[in-house]
Amino acid sequence: MKAFVADKDKRLKIVEIPKPHFNEKQALVKLIANGMCGSDLKLIHQEFKGITPDQYPILLGHEGVGEIAETGSLVKGLKKGDKVLLPFVDADKEHLGEYGSGWGALSEYAVVNDAKAYPKEQVPELALAQKVLPEDVDPVDAVIIVTFREVLSAIKYFGIKKEDAVVVYGSGPVALTFIKMMNLLGINDITAIVRSKIKADNVMAHGAARALNSKEQEVTEEVRRMHPDGVPYVIDAVGSEEIINEAMGLICDRGEILCYGVPSTEKMTIDFSKANYNWKINFQQMPRKGEEAEVHEQVMNWIRAGKLCMKEFISDYFEFEDAVEAYRKFDNKEIRKKGIIVF
């Protein structure tokens, strides 16, 4: 099969590798599409926590949707033709040679587990989130459901309540999802921090109560004017030391800075001189798959009810053969919302 990889020298390429092995409790999946994620860029630039240079070249992709092509002998809950979320390719040096795995859903084939093939107490956590999609859901656009579930589970983990005022930094698909999800949950006092008029319009369309353009407005002054004591939550949907330090001046006593995603560096200098005496920084770098599974039905209910439109979060589609160019554009910030690689 063909697979998209990041090399040791940070070059991107499509290579030929063997199809992955799958066991009697798993199924082989032919990929339909995969979402482009900021964590892919962290892997490409060798900035992803826990992934060391000696593990490269590495298979990319973790927002995949595919169709079941073959099933193992003990599989009960999956059948050929099912469309499924979150297929992966395990790191298997004996079978795949030099290639490590960053999930590997940017490959022509991958693997899913069947939760029903295991005793309840032995079900792998990942299997809980590898859901079969309804037939009426577009399997290409459905890659955004991975983002929806990750963000909704993060909001619940962070404990944000309806009455809370929240400041959100960012205007990409993750920030837009945070804003939309909080709006659907009845959290309405949302201030988005952006860097252009177009992005301001975008966050407002997704449910922000107001948008501040950091290139034209003094963010701390404006937030403190609306909330003199500060806000209980600031969400950094970018992963930036600069944002974290600016947020120190926005939070109230015992306020919390919520950092979502993998930051570009594992070392930061935190300047809390502008903060109250009591504050928290909460990093959510790796969403728990069991928590994603718990919010899956809520996400699907919102989609069925028309409250959540997948296409509103997607801006670009690319053929798999053009993946190298697609990621060049992504790295250069030329993709406005979610980009999708289609097989």
Q: Which pLDDT tens digit goes with each residue over 36-89?
A: 999 999 999 999 988 889 899 999 999 999 999 999 999 999 999 999 999 999
Convert the pLDDT of each residue in 185-224 to its tens digit.
999 999 999 999 999 999 999 999 999 999 999 999 999 9
Cβ count near 228 (within 10 Å): 8
Q: In CATH, what number is assigned to the domain containing residue 66?
A: 3.90.180.10
Cβ neighbours of residue 46 closer than 8 Å, sequence gap 6 or more? 10, 53, 56
Whole-number Å distance between alpha carbons of 325 and 311: 22
Token pair of 275, please?
């903060």
Q: Which of 106, 258, 254 is nearest to 170 (CA)?
A: 258
Q: 88-97, 193-202, 244-253 — which is least confidently predicted?
A: 88-97
Shared domain for 87 and 178, answered yes or no, is no
Shared domain for 7 and 123, answered yes or no, is yes
pLDDT at 203: 97
Q: Which domain holds residue 209?
A: 147-284
Is 182 part of any domain? yes
pLDDT at 13: 97
pLDDT at 130: 98
Q: Which single residue is written with the structure tokens 């209980």?
A: 232
Q: Which of 209, 162, 205, 206 is nearest to 186 (CA)?
A: 162
Q: 258-272, 311-325, 327-341 — which is least confidently predicted?
A: 258-272
Whether 229 has a pLDDT exceeding 80, the answer reads yes
Whole-number Å distance between alpha carbons of 303 and 63: 18
Q: Which of 224, 197, 219, 192 is nearest to 208 (CA)?
A: 192
Phi, psi values for residue 201, rounded to 5°: -60, -40
Whole-number Å distance between alpha carbons of 307 and 285: 27
> In sequence order, what DSSP letters do the residues of 247-278 get, joined into one string?
HTTTEEEEEEEEEES--S-S------TTS-SS
Q: 11-15, 88-92, 106-110, 225-229 — which is least confidently predicted?
A: 88-92
Shared domain for 116 and 167, answered yes or no, is no
* Domain count of the fold of the chain: 2
* pLDDT category of residue 286 using cuts at 50, 70 and 90: confident
Is 56 part of any domain? yes
pLDDT at 201: 96
* pLDDT category of residue 294 using cuts at 50, 70 and 90: very high
Shared domain for 18 and 135, answered yes or no, is yes
Mean pLDDT, residues 89-97: 87
Whole-number Å distance between alpha carbons of 24 and 287: 27
Q: In CATH, what number is assigned to the domain containing residue 159?
A: 3.40.50.720
Shared domain for 128 and 164, answered yes or no, is no
* pLDDT category of residue 255 using cuts at 50, 70 and 90: very high
Whether 289 has a pLDDT exceeding 90, the answer reads yes
Is 273 part of any domain? yes
Is 304 part of any domain? no
Shared domain for 210 and 131, answered yes or no, is no
Shared domain for 113 and 154, answered yes or no, is no
Shared domain for 10 and 42, answered yes or no, is yes
Shared domain for 266 and 313, answered yes or no, is no
Q: Which of 123, 106, 104, 101 is nearest to 114 (CA)?
A: 123
Whole-number Å distance between alpha carbons of 103 and 146: 13
Mean pLDDT, residues 15-31: 97
| pTM for the full predicted model | 0.95
Is 300 part of any domain? no
What share of the chain has pLDDT > 90, as a percent? 90
Mean pLDDT, residues 246-275: 93
pLDDT at 93: 82
Whether 101 has a pLDDT exceeding 90, the answer reads no
Shared domain for 152 and 279, answered yes or no, is yes
Is 116 part of any domain? yes
Shared domain for 177 and 276, answered yes or no, is yes
What separation in angstroms does the CA of 119 have from each of 66, 74, 245, 295?
Answer: 25, 12, 47, 22
pLDDT at 100: 82
Mean pLDDT of the chain: 95
Shared domain for 259 and 226, answered yes or no, is yes
Q: Are strands 64-71 and 26-35 parallel, antiparallel or unpaired?
A: antiparallel
